[in-house]
Amino acid sequence: MTRPIRSITEAKGHDSSKHRLATFGGAGGQHAVAIAESLGIRQILVHRYSSSVLSAYGMALADVVDERQEPDSNTWEDSGKVVDELKERMRKLKEKSRESLADQGFNDNEIGFEEYLNMRYRGTESALMIIKPSEEEAKQYFDGNDWSFGQAFAKQHQYEFGFTLDERDIIVDDIRVRGIGKSFRHKEKTVDEQLKVIKKQDVAEGKKHGSQRVYFGEGRLDAPIFKLENLDVGDVVKGPAILADGTQTIVVRPKSQATVTETHVIIDLEYSNSKESSQSGVENKEVDPIMLSIFGHRFMSIAEQMGLTLQKTSVSTNVKERLDFSCAIFDATGGLVANAPHLPVHLGSMSTFVRCQAEIWKGKLNKGDVIISNHPSYGGTHLPDVTLMMPAFDSKGRKSSFTRHLGPIMPILVVSALVACHLIRGNCSKRERRFGAKSWSAEESLMRSASSSCSTMSRPGILVAAVLVPLRITSTTSELRCQPTKRESRSLRL
Q: Where are the beta strands (DSSP E) in 62-164?
A: 64-71, 111-121, 128-131
Q: At what angle do helices 28-39 and 2-10 cross, to 10 degrees?
A: 60
My answer on whether 333 and 473 are in the same domain is yes
Dist. CA 365–CA 336, nearest whole Å: 19
Same domain membership, residue 227 and residue 164: no
Does residue 109 lie within any of the structural domains? yes
Mean pLDDT, the chain, rounded, equals 75
Q: pLDDT value at position 75?
A: 94
Domain's final residue, options 244, 275, 306: 275
Cβ neighbours, 10 Å, residue 40: 14
Instruction: pLDDT band for 43, please (50, 70, 90 cuts).
Output: very high
Residues 290 and 67: beta-carbon distance below 8 Å: no
274-329 pLDDT, tens digit each: 334 333 334 456 666 767 777 887 888 888 888 888 888 888 788 888 888 888 88
pLDDT exceeds cutoff 70 at 486: no
CB neighbour list of residue 75: distance below 8 Å, 6 or more residues apart: 82, 122, 169, 170, 171, 172
Render pLDDT for 91-130 as a digit per residue (tens, 0 to 9).
Answer: 999 999 999 999 988 988 889 999 999 999 998 888 999 9
Q: Which of 57-61, 154-158, 282-286, 423-427 has the lowest mean pLDDT?
A: 423-427
Q: What share of the chain is helix, strand, coil (3-state, %, to 5)?
A: 40, 25, 35
Q: How far apart are CA 74 and CA 91, in angstroms?
A: 17
Which of 119, 154, 181 is a domain's end point?
A: 181
Residues 46 and 123 in one domain: no
Domain boundary among 250, 275, 300: 275
- 210 & 315 share domain: no
Q: Are residues 311 and 359 in the same domain?
A: yes
Is residue 492 domain-resident? no
Do 133 and 81 fall into the same domain? yes
Pairing assessment for the beta strands 64-71 and 471-475 based on DSSP bridges: unpaired
Terminal-residue alpha carbon distance, the chain: 50
Task: Specify if 71 maps to a domain.
Answer: yes
**Do 305 and 384 fall into the same domain?**
yes
Give helix 2-10 / helix 289-313 axis angle, nearest 10°.
Answer: 30
Whether 383 and 374 have beta carbons less than 8 Å apart is answered as yes
pLDDT at 204: 92
| Structural domain of 23 | 2-9+19-58+188-275
- Do residues 165 and 314 share a domain? no
Specify whether 262 is located in the same domain as 377: no
Of 142-151, 207-216, 276-285, 482-491, the poorest mean pLDDT is in 482-491
Q: Is the pLDDT higher at 327 or at 435?
A: 327
Query: What length is written for the chain?
Result: 494
Peptide bond into 133 cis (omega under 30): no
pLDDT at residue 281, rounded to an integer: 39
Residue 491 has pLDDT above 50, yes or no: no
How deeply is 153 buried, as exposed, middle or buried, from its count of CB atoms within 10 A (0-12, 13-18, 19+)? buried
User: What are the DSSP E strand ranges found in 182-254?
Assistant: 201-202, 208-216, 219-227, 235-238, 241-244, 249-252
By C-alpha distance, which of 241, 236, 239 is closest to 203? Answer: 236
Mean pLDDT, residues 191-216 taken together: 90
Does residue 494 belong to any structural domain of this protein? Answer: no
The pLDDT value given to residue 186 = 62
Which one-letter DSSP state was computed for residue 334?
S
Q: Which of 209, 198, 188 is nearest to 47 (CA)?
A: 188
How far is it between the farthest Cα atoms of the chain?
Answer: 85
| Residue 466 counted as domain residue | yes
- pLDDT tens profile 344-366: 767 777 778 888 888 888 888 88
Stretch among 6-20, 179-193, 377-391, 470-484 having the lowest mean pLDDT: 470-484
Answer yes or no: is 283 within a domain. no
Tens digit of each residue's pLDDT (9 = 90 or more) over 139-180: 888 877 878 999 999 999 998 888 888 889 999 999 999 999
HEC readout, 243-256: EECCCCEEEECCCE
Q: Domains in the chain: how many in total?
A: 3
Residue 437 lies in a domain: yes
Alpha helices in 118-182 (DSSP H): 135-141, 149-161
Q: Do 388 and 404 belong to one domain?
A: yes
Given this model, what pLDDT does residue 483 score?
Answer: 42
Q: Helices 442-450 and 409-424, interaxial angle, to 10°?
A: 60
Measured CA to CA, the distance from residue 61 to residue 190 in angstroms comes to: 15
Residue 431 makes CB contacts below 8 A (sequence gap 6+) with 478, 479
78 in the same domain as 139:
yes
Percent of the residues in the chain that have a pLDDT greater than 70, as a whole number: 74
| pLDDT of residue 401 exceeding 70 | no
Within a domain: residue 47?
yes
Among 13, 12, 20, 11, smallest CA distance to 39 is for 20
350 within 8 A of 379, measured Cβ to Cβ: yes
The mean-pLDDT minimum among 155-159, 240-244, 422-426 falls in 422-426
Rg (CA), the chain: 28
Give 389's strand partners.
371, 404
Are 249 and 346 contained in the same domain?
A: no
Highest mean pLDDT of the ranges 241-245, 337-341, 402-406, 418-422: 241-245
The closest alpha carbon to 47, from 261, 238, 268, 269, belongs to: 261
